[in-house]
């Protein structure tokens, strides 16, 4: 049981390049989230998904896109990378049923540097 996995662990991008951050979970969680953590700060929600085919924006969605074609995978796409997107990106998942919302479990993070 791997929990939440993220790839890559670290990436350097040039301004204007694009990339996809991968996230997968094997806990059969229906909810998945993407957060970013800027230096010295807490995490902020970028996008989330309540199930396959359903996604919605969080606090800071600009410059990102997501898709959720399967329960297990929730990739985050960066188009036209900008220095302001330099951050650590965390994927999380949780299980929710009948109004009961369980704890969010986080992946190890992807450190992104945009130069």
Partner 1 sequence: AQKITQTQPGMFVQEKEAVTLDCTYDTSDQSYGLFWYKQPSSGEMIFLIYQGSYDEQNATEGRYSLNFQKARKSANLVISASQLGDSAMYFCAMREVLMDSSYKLIFGSGTRLLVRP
Question: What is the contact surface with partner 1 in residues (CB under 8 A)?
Answer: 31, 33, 35, 40-45, 48, 50, 56, 58-59, 88, 90, 92, 96, 99, 101, 103-109, 111
Q: Which two tokens stand for residue 114?
A: 């945009």
Rank residues 14 and 28 by Cβ distance to partner 1 and give the closer one. 28
Taking a C-beta distance cutoff of 8 angstroms, is the pair 80, 99 a contact?
no
Rank residues 1 and 103 by Cβ distance to partner 1 and give the closer one. 103
Q: Which two tokens stand for residue 88?
A: 């650590």
Nearest distance from C-beta of residue 80 to partner 1, angstroms: 25
DSSP 2: -
66 alpha-carbon distance from chain centroid: 8
């Amino acid at each position: 049981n791997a929990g939440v996995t993220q790839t890559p662990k670290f990436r350097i991008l040039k301004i204007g390049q694009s990339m996809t951050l991968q996230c997968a979970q094997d806990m059969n969680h229906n909810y998945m989230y993407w957060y970013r953590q800027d230096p010295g700060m807490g995490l902020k929600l970028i996008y989330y998904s309540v199930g396959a085919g359903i996604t919605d924006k969080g606090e800071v969605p600009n410059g990102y896109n997501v898709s959720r074609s399967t329960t297990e995978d929730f990739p985050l796409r960066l188009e036209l990378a900008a220095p302001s997107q330099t951050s650590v990106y965390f994927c999380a998942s949780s299980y929710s049923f009948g109004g009961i919302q369980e704890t969010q479990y986080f992946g190890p993070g992807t450190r992104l540097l945009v130069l």
